[in-house]
Amino acid sequence: MVVGGGMAAHGFCRRIIQSPQRSRFSVTVFGEEPRPAYDRVNLSSLLAGRDEAELLLSTREWYEEHGIVLHTGRRITRIDLERREIHGQLGEAEPYDQLVLATGSYPWVRPIKGANHSGVFVYRTIEDLEAIRDYVATKQAKTSAVIGGGLLGLEAAKVIKDLGLSTTILEVAPGLMPRQLDAEGVA
């Protein structure tokens, strides 16, 4: 049983189908997002006109062909270690022998007043990108601010710039990409 349907879960599935032990396992994946794993690293390329389907690491048929049961749009909310069961948001329970957690990470939003208002976005999923694009189109937005001048902040700023908005990046460190660059590099 694999919880999380992202890039790591997909990598795990690829490895397990090549394993000589494959026949010992039935494999089921529960992913919260509405589609199979995709190349999140190239998320921004969707704006350049790339099709969503091109970003998929494997099609649904691939999972079927390899005997992997894939559930998308299904969030697992509880693990019952004693009973060896996982529980989903609909109250459903699924038994497991071995459990793999490949749940990745979520964008962490600082507790900034107003961060939950409309027009404030995180940037991690295809849905986030679509929400930004729709908002810009609907509101005919012209300006934007990106909080965080790390790799993802810069990537988000490029996305917004490509949508035709002017962008201000706000970074608490003295320079951009503080995790990657030392003071000399920033200067």
Ligand X SMILES: Cc1cc2nc3c(=O)[nH]c(=O)nc-3n(C[C@H](O)[C@H](O)[C@H](O)COP(=O)(O)OP(=O)(O)OC[C@H]3O[C@@H](n4cnc5c(N)ncnc54)[C@H](O)[C@@H]3O)c2cc1C
Query: Given the rule CB under 6 A, which residues bind ligand X?
Result: 3-9, 30-33, 40-41, 43-44, 75-76, 102-105, 123-124, 152, 155
How near is the Cβ of 138 to ligand X at its closest, in Å?
Answer: 22
Nearest CA among 161, 163, 182, 160 for reference residue 173: 182
Q: Which residue has the tokens 């691939």?
A: 62
Residue 151's SS3 state is helix
Q: Which is nearer to ligand X, 103 or 144 (CB)?
A: 103
* CA-to-CA separations, 40 to 60, 130, 173, in angstroms, rounded: 17, 14, 26
- State the Cα–Cα distance between residues 164 and 174, nearest whole angstrom: 27
- What the block records as the tokens of 184 is 């000399």
Q: Are the beta carbons of 158 and 46 closer than 8 angstroms?
A: no
Q: What is residue 27's DSSP assignment?
A: E
Q: Which is nearer to ligand X, 100 or 187 (CB)?
A: 100
Q: Which is nearer to ligand X, 128 or 171 (CB)?
A: 128
How near is the Cβ of 23 to ligand X at its closest, in Å?
Answer: 26
Q: Which is nearer to ligand X, 63 or 123 (CB)?
A: 123
How near is the Cβ of 104 to ligand X at its closest, in Å?
Answer: 2
- What the block records as the tokens of 172 is 């608490």
- Listed in sequence order, the residues at least 6 apart from 152 whose beta carbon sits closer than 8 Å to its beta carbon are 123
How near is the Cβ of 146 to ligand X at its closest, in Å?
Answer: 12
How near is the Cβ of 43 to ligand X at its closest, in Å?
Answer: 4
Amino acid at 183: A
Q: Which is nearer to ligand X, 9 or 136 (CB)?
A: 9
Q: Which is nearer to ligand X, 17 or 24 (CB)?
A: 17
- What the block records as the tokens of 183 is 């003071």
Amino acid at 173: A
How near is the Cβ of 71 to ligand X at its closest, in Å?
Answer: 9
